[in-house]
């Protein structure tokens, strides 16, 4: 296996209508890493995510997956690259007219030569992996919010991607469900060595599962801190970083450093 980073971002400017919200971003995500993009509301976390997954075009700079440019790829190559990652959207974005099985088999139908039976077996496996064994015939409207997120993750895993992007996975979930989703992220990484990129501002999740974080800031329009969140919380001198990590009480991970 190559040692190239799973994602490499160089000189990335992103924003809307030619106006950059974030500029000059440089960072890379290693294989098998659980990488968090954190920061307060409106700092551009979601914009960055949309640039990484190709929903928005960078204003400048580029995004590379395993050393290969995603930004400059031609249409055919881009399609190839698209299937190497999965995305769990904030609202799970399950297709409401399809059952959970069909939600998962659709990408398989699109990209593989598997037979219908094999696809169904895989859908059952993916649902079992996220703890929804036996829910194949349910429609998204018939399951709860936490289950939708799990099913969304099962769909993101359908093609065994190397990278899974999570957009605010804990949004709208109770702490227990949110915690179980964190565990699921760890389990997926342990089983398949998947690289996980999580956009979140949930301190509990950050301290529980993140290997490394980058913190974005609205005023700085870029990265103001990077590294292990536990170390950052303890040792960073930057008041913005301190404010972010210590806004919520989290005794073990955020000991008093004053």
Q: Which residues bind another protein (CB under 8 A)?
A: 1-2, 65-68, 80-81, 83-84, 96, 108, 111-114, 118, 121-122, 124-129, 133-138, 141-142, 159-160, 162, 190-192
Smallest distance from another protein to CB 141, Å: 7
Judged by beta carbon, residue 99 or residue 236, the one nearer another protein is 99
Which residues touch 78 (CB under 8 Å, ≥6 apart)?
54, 70
Residue 16 buriedness (CB in 10 A; 0-12 / 13-18 / 19+): exposed
- Euclidean distance between CA atoms 7 and 109, whole angstroms: 27
Judged by beta carbon, residue 144 or residue 257, the one nearer another protein is 144
Smallest distance from another protein to CB 250, Å: 30
Smallest distance from another protein to CB 94, Å: 12
Judged by beta carbon, residue 79 or residue 247, the one nearer another protein is 79
Long-range contacts of 191-195 (CB under 8 A, 24+ apart): 191/129, 192/157, 192/160, 193/31, 193/32, 194/32, 194/157, 194/161, 194/162, 194/163, 194/164, 195/6, 195/7, 195/29, 195/30, 195/31, 195/32, 195/33, 195/35, 195/162, 195/163, 195/164
Smallest distance from another protein to CB 147, Å: 11
Judged by beta carbon, residue 88 or residue 127, the one nearer another protein is 127
Judged by beta carbon, residue 118 or residue 235, the one nearer another protein is 118
Smallest distance from another protein to CB 198, Å: 20
């Amino acid at each position: 296996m190559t040692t190239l980073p799973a994602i490499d971002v160089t000189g990335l400017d992103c924003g809307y209508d030619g106006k950059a919200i974030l500029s000059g971003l440089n960072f890379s995500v290693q294989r098998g890493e659980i990488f968090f993009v954190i920061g307060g509301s409106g700092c551009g976390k979601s914009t960055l995510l949309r640039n990484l997954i190709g929903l928005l075009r960078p204003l400048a700079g580029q995004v590379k997956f395993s050393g290969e440019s995603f930004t400059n790829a031609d249409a055919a190559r881009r399609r190839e690259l698209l299937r190497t990652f999965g995305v769990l959207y904030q609202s799970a974005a399950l297709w409401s007219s399809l059952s959970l099985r069909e939600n998962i088999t659709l990408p398989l139908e699109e990209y593989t030569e598997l037979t219908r039976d094999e696809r169904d077996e895989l859908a059952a496996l993916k649902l079992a992996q996220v703890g929804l064994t036996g829910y194949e015939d349910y429609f998204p409207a018939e399951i709860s919010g936490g289950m939708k997120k799990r099913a969304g993750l099962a769909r993101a895993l359908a093609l065994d991607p190397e990278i899974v992007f999570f957009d605010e996975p804990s949004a709208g979930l109770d702490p227990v469900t949110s915690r179980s989703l964190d565990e699921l992220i760890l389990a997926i990484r342990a089983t398949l060595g998947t690289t996980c990129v999580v956009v979140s501002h949930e301190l509990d999740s950050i301290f529980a599962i993140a290997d490394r974080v980058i913190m974005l800031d609205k005023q700085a329009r870029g990265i103001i801190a990077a590294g292990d969140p536990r170390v950052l919380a303890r040792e960073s001198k930057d008041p913005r970083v301190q404010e972010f990590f210590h806004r919520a009480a989290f005794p073990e991970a955020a000991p008093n450093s004053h």
